[in-house]
Structure 1
Amino acid sequence: MTIDPTARIHPSAIVEDGATIGANAKIGPFCTVGPEVTLAEGVELISHVAVAGITSVGARTRIWPFASIGHQPQDLKYAGEPTRLEIGSDCMLREHVTMNPGTVQGGGLTKIGDRCLFMMSTHAGHDCQVGSNVIVANNVPLAGHVTVGDFAVIGGNAAIHQFCRIGHGAMVGGLTGVERDVIPYGSVTGDRAHLAGLNLIGLKRRGLPREEIHALRAAFREIFEAGEGSLDEKAAAAAKAHEGSVLVAEVTAFLLGDSKRGFVTAAQG
């Protein structure tokens, strides 16, 4: 066991031999920390937090009561293999959050980026890959193998189907069931998600150039509102028509890339 002398551990907490606890970490009442867990500098487990498995928690991340972090994946194929969970720096994991490590079949790693907020009772399933600056609101499950891009926002009580991709800067409305991939900067809503437009508020808040936003809006109309051609054909045409636009290139590359689930479109609504 490696415990920095500046770490503070409540007498009722259990830290197993082998764990690594960084400088100024705080482990509150009735927490448990497993033997292969690494808590970086300034991590705080507020109380009643259970961290297990081969799990690393980045600097200054705070975890609220009754969170279950790094325990066995909810996958019947899992047979005790040494898979991992990595959580970035400056995250907030609120009450009853659950996060599972990866599986051998999915690459062996579940990864959460920096500065993410997972609100109450959210779940990151095995082999999820979540970017940085992501907000996941109350009661949202991310099923296994889900990918979420940087700056995405997922509204309360939404649900994300396994193997779906949520693009960079996308917005998923509350109570939305997402069964297919959501384009970067897309805004989806509905009982079963349909594409309602672009996340213009998110684009503007991040201070992206006006000309880039205009190009993306034009490309959106060409891809999703034009009548002729397949999605692939329209995406390729938009990429060519708006060559030089970073945002359009990102969206069209997403559409032309590998998708296991297909894409959310306006027609699905």
Structure 2
Amino acid sequence: MDRYVVTNDCIPEIVKHSKINENSAQFFRRKNFLNGLQNALNILNGLERCLQKTGKYEKKLLKCKSSHSHTHNNDWWESEPSEGKETKVLNADKTTSSRNQVDLAESWSTMSIVCLQYQYEELSKRYEALLQAYDERCGALSERERAVARLLGRTDRMRAQLVHAHQALLTVGDKYLMLRGKKMMQKKWYEERLEALKRLLQEITFEAERAEFELNSQTKDSAESEDVDTSLLVSEISRCNSLFLENLRLKTELEGVSMQHYDTY
């Protein structure tokens, strides 16, 4: 036979599970006790309602008795359900004829039928009232369900609209970011281009001024010569060079103003 070794590590687990089972048993016993109390309370409430209904039926029976007392013997209706008075009634019945006994039985049967009919009519009225109340509640419940269905449909439509608007907003945002990035790249490219053109204009202006200075130095002697045509030609060349340099300076300043205006936007 195989031997099973029980270690000490298993003992705390067994104790813990046994404690849990005991707690569960106590919980279920307490729950069953509370359920028993609730059932007893419900039975007492039911008995109280039955007693109230019995009292109502007794009142209705007395009402029927008072309304039909003229068709019966007053001694019979005014008698109490006691043993002594029942003996007196029996003694009185022995002295009456069989015809009176038959009439009494018929009168009692008639009274019972009338009371039962009265109770039936009351129950029928109550049943009709309950049916009407039930129909009204069913109608109200149906209207409420239709209203809830309309609200659910409206909620679904609004949810769909919100989802569509959210998607459109995301699309517009993506396009905006794409265009903004493209614009920033174009702006950077134009700024670099303008800076290069500005440096080129400055270099051209500097070279033109230096060339004008050299040209003026070279043509100074020709301008002072006695030849009128040569002097006029040199003067015209100098004036054209001055205008060209002035035009370059104005273009450089205009480019600077344009860049400042572009940066503001």
Normalization by structure 1: what TM-score? 0.15
Q: Which has the higher contact order (CA 8 A, sep 6+)?
A: 2
Higher helix share: 2
Normalization by structure 2: what TM-score? 0.15
